[in-house]
Amino acid sequence: MKIGELAQRSGCLVETIRYYEQIGLLAPPDRSANNYRSYGHVHAEHLGFIRHCRVLDMPLDEIRKLLDLRDFPEQDCDGVDTLLDQHIAEVSERIAALTTLDEQLRHLRSRCNSTDATRS
């Protein structure tokens, strides 16, 4: 797929994709006969992973370490275990916070719905 299609599918800007290539987070794509970048499913998977990590404000150097571990699972995990534990804890905290917010919003909606019903 071309860079525009990858950008559209991933919800990422073309410039961001090029930047991730430039700094080595995304592998350089193959080039077609007319010299267009040609991305595959691996690029889309990596970009999705990067975007999820960025939503959690994960620094790019940490994302690079996690991508290396993902791409080369046979490597030693000693340097990454602490990083993984830290981010797993952060994800769990975010999930708990979002669950609480979800409950509060649903409660507020039910209050509004019951207030609307009594006004009718």
3-state helix/strand/coil string of the chain: CCHHHHHHHHCCCHHHHHHHHHCCCCCCCEECCCCCEECCHHHHHHHHHHHHHHHCCCCHHHHHHHHHHHHCCCCCCHHHHHHHHHHHHHHHHHHHHHHHHHHHHHHHHHHHHHHHHHHC
Cβ-contact 49, 67 below 8 angstroms: yes
Give percent of the chain with pLDDT exceeding 90: 63
**pLDDT class of 69 with cuts at 50, 70, 90:** confident
Residue 19 has pLDDT above 70, yes or no: yes
Q: What is the pTM of this model?
A: 0.73
State yes or no: pLDDT of 78 exceeds 90: no
pLDDT band (50, 70, 90) for residue 75: confident
pLDDT score of 115 more than 90: no
